[in-house]
Structure 1
């Protein structure tokens, strides 16, 4: 990866982990994320009307009880990736995958303090070359919920080659590049200065691993090498995926 000057401000202080959300709170959050996608033009990019887009994704609301159950279970169990600081885990993130929305178009929906996502060293051909690794199974239907999302604070400074078995041993799944874009779309504050994350769930058959970080105040999507540690990069993961 080309050498790049990183901003030297500290990452934001972590918030105390919130209480487990209720079903009503999860439903409101799903509505918020869906509204974000509609407001930023995802239906148009997916060649749908706003109504068609909302109707297509509506069945995901039926999976919210499973989201709540998963969060309750993970909080009961001993968590080998727990961290005393860093951003709290997200209950879920709504992902619109390549069947409906290409990664390139999805990247265009990201805003952080009105700054757009910078895509570096990833043209259309490179985007297409990154595919889910063998252990990552994506639900069919073009959209799904990414459950109990962790930005990887406990794996900072672990090279991706070292972080991946740690995630798997903890019973978690690494995020794909599309899923990282979805996190940055719905919760842009999770990508913070000196607190980015690698997306180990997508590979292209070489040593490159995509990652999200902050560069000159803007969110950036690029890649790093699988064997190189970075103090400002963790490895993002989830507890599971729930489709329609």
Structure 2
């Protein structure tokens, strides 16, 4: 397997102030029930202490199903695959979130070096490297703020989000964000659109890395 110590360089994020304005422009603050001024203040207070950090809204306030359509690529909106109607039931697993509506995600890595690994192989490797897998909502936030992070053949999984069945077992699907080819049920009109989908826990895909971070925190 590849060396997991390598870090792939991806386009930097805008400032936290600019990220806050982006979310407000998209209406995420209204979706989440957070006043625009509160979002601006959070970003302003944190801006002097964090460099390349991602401003995220807690998934309880802004679920993946509401965020995905805000994505854009080639002028086309993002979407969730039709066979994932339960997308918002994919909740944090092995991930501890700050107890706040707004928080920061630090040390982002797209995980290109783990392309063609299975989620089953990737999770323990990330844990060993003291990294935490991104949630699906965090991955969407990342692409909202920096669309260039989603490239053909360089997309990513967000295995911090899992669905737990009524019997306590984890669903074998694991969420990911990639670019639609416009085939099958996606529809030709969605070719090149950002796509929220899923892959099996034990399967490998050459175009999917594993997005992760060094941590999460509030001010």
Deviation at 1:60, TM superposition (A): 4.3
Structure 2: tracts of 5 or more residues without a match: 1-7, 164-169, 181-190
Residue 166 to residue 64, structure 1, CA distance change in 2 (3 Å): farther
- How large is the Cα RMSD of the aligned pairs? 2.2
TM-score (norm 2): 0.81
Aligned-partner SS, 2:125 = helix
Aligned-partner SS, 1:108 = helix
Distance 1:58 1:32 in 2: 12
Query: Of 125, 138, 154, which aligns to 1:179?
Result: 138
CA shift digits 1:71-107 (9 cap, x unpaired): xxxxxxxxxxxxxxxxxxxx22111123332222222
Deviation at 1:122, TM superposition (A): 2.0
Deviation at 1:141, TM superposition (A): 1.5
**Corresponding position of 2:77:** 116
Deviation at 1:180, TM superposition (A): 1.0
Deviation at 1:211, TM superposition (A): 0.4
Distance 2:40 2:212 in 1: 23
Distance 1:165 1:64 in 2: 32
**Corresponding position of 1:127:** 87
TM-score (norm 1): 0.73
**Corresponding position of 1:211:** 176
Deviation at 1:17, TM superposition (A): 7.3
Contact 1:42 1:109 (8 Å CA) reproduced: no
Residue 16 to residue 226, structure 1, CA distance change in 2 (3 Å): closer
Distance 1:237 1:177 in 2: 11
Deviation at 1:150, TM superposition (A): 0.5
Taking the TM superposition and a 5 Å limit, the aligned residue runs for 1:26-175 are 29-48=15-34, 52-56=35-39, 58-64=41-47, 66-68=49-51, 91-120=52-81, 121-123=83-85, 126-133=86-93, 135-175=94-134
Structure 1: tracts of 5 or more residues without a match: 1-14, 69-90
Contact 1:155 1:163 (8 Å CA) reproduced: yes
Deviation at 1:47, TM superposition (A): 3.8
Distance 2:9 2:84 in 1: 36
Q: State the aligned residue count.
A: 195
